Amino acid sequence: MDNQSSKSGVVYLVGAGPGRKELLTLRALEVLDRADVVVYDYLVSQSVLQLCQPSAVLIDVGKQPGRPTNQSDINELLVDLASKHRYIVRLKGGDPFVFGRGGEEAEALKAAEISFEVVPGVSSVNGAPLFGGISLTHRGVAQGYVVVTGHGRFGERLTYDWDALHRCGLTLVVLMGVAHRAEISEELRRVGMDPLTPTAVIYKGTTAFQRVLRTTLSELGALQVESPAVMVIGNVAELDFSWLHTRPLFGLKAVVTRAVGEDRLSRSLEELGAEVVRLPTISISNPSDQGESLHGALERIRSYEWTVFTSSTSVNRTFDALGDLRRLGGVKVAAIGSGTKDTVLAYRVGVDFVPTRYVGETFIEEFPYPKDSDNKILLPRAKVARDVVPMGLRKKGWNVEVVEAYETSHVIYDKIDLITKQDLVLFASPSAVEGFHRSFGAALGQVPIGVIGPITAEKVKELGFTPAFVSEIYDFAGLVEATKLWWVRNRKSGMF
């Protein structure tokens, strides 16, 4: 239960982890879901920010080269926001209290009598080495580790007891030390640490940009590396338990344009190592008649011989409205596509017909003819959709009733810079392509495009662009497989 003061909102100091959204805690997800305002740092990833509610106000206070942010200003901002909003999330990279200055923010909130909660996060201390294949402790090699910051206050030299750091014999982990790497190397060698001590630097650990550079202590100062990076100094740095880079889509930064809630494609890509930015170009809402037509048709459900589903959304909307699935009785079910079929099966309902190719034209060609002209088909679908299926069924002699199960609209964005930083944009429908083009226009041609089949590919070409690849199997599994082939081929050719 939240300990909320009667005169202010609650501020949550939340650790966002080192980059990947999967490393967030369940509590972090809970408070992000309710946040009215999110105050975030520079290193918080877009994939994490996309977990916020669309209505949440996002405030960037990240410290960047050329754009310093005064910590006292952030403290005052949090206190001020608490007087105006109910739930405020202060989203900090890594863990709030591990070199994150979260303690200073907690002090300011406490002094102002603002209720707050600290939500731990995975620190880059652990996250970066783990994703880089380095164990900070290892039997017979290192019995523990020491963590220090490599950032000198006001740019001054570091003032550690270097001899103690050397003599302890533990793994040394340095955060924010890239600018002082030569100094760190020099001081440790000065107090007697072996110049050949194994050293590793993990750049942007856990992300698609991750690189692991292995060197020695003496060569650390001359190593070409940028921030953010974690340095690991000690014998464990020559161990290699790498795993992330073995995933076939490691390094790929992809935009998925599926509607909110339809993220099976994203999950499949992420499991293969890709870093996914979800940018839904379609919003799904209730039907314009508030479901009156669908409910009316379902009252007569047993008068239909078939119910034909063209999307997973149409399945969910129909079965939710139907309630008791026993009402289907002997009505047969057809699905266009494996994803739609799987959604039907998830309701423990059988599927009687699926075309060999997941497009409307093949569906019409392979679907059976009616026994007589009174045979009826119920086709619940989006308010605006291609007419290939209903027209084709009618030409075959079926009595088709099309009902609106949901309505789609395009989501408009202005994040062109976000798009151009990605390696690939994936589309699973012509409407997603159209929505993306409405937001980004010519930017559609600045990033390679992958599409699920010929119908979607045609829409891309209609707008004047050429897909980088078209999946030969027109479902999510086929699109993922085509993405893997494209990525491996281009990685080998040196394009990425």
Q: How many helices (H) and strands (E) does the chain have?
A: 17, 20
What number of CA atoms fall less than 13 Å from residue 488's CA on the CB side? 10
CB atoms within 10 A of CB 464: 10
Residue type, 77: L
Given 36, 60, 63, 163, the catalytic residue: 63
Burial 215-240 (b: 16+ CB within 10 A, else e): bbbbebeebeeeebbbbbbbebbeee
Q: What does the block give as tokens for 321?
A: 């409205």
Q: Contact, 14 vs 91, CB < 8 A? A: yes
Q: Where are the beta strands (DSSP E) in 81-221?
A: 87-92, 115-119, 145-149, 171-175, 198-203, 211-216
Query: Is 495 known to be catalytic?
Result: no
- d(CA 199, CA 180) in angstroms, rounded, equals 15
Query: Is 21 known to be catalytic?
Result: no
Contacts with 50 (C-beta within 8 Å, 6 or more apart), sequence order: 21, 277, 278
Given 176, 193, 423, 459, the catalytic residue: 176
Of 320, 266, 270, the closest CA to residue 294 belongs to 320
Q: What are phi and psi of 264, to 5 degrees?
A: -60, -35
Given 21, 41, 459, 475, the catalytic residue: 41
Of 20, 10, 61, the closest CA to residue 39 belongs to 61
Residue 54: cis peptide before it, omega within 30 degrees of 0 = no
Contacts with 343 (C-beta within 8 Å, 6 or more apart), sequence order: 309, 312, 315, 316, 335
Q: 209 in helix, strand or coil? A: coil
Residue with tokens 């007589």: 372
Separation in Å, CA 351 to CA 306, 345, 392, 477: 11, 7, 20, 19
Q: 56 in helix, strand or coil? A: coil
Separation in Å, CA 477 to CA 133, 362, 430, 448, 480: 29, 19, 18, 19, 5
Query: Is 193 known to be catalytic?
Result: no
Burial 444-463 (b: 16+ CB within 10 A, else e): beebbbbbbbbbbbebbeeb
CB atoms within 10 A of CB 65: 7
Which letter does DSSP use for residue 370 in this model?
P
Kindly list the catalytic residues.
Answer: 41, 63, 176
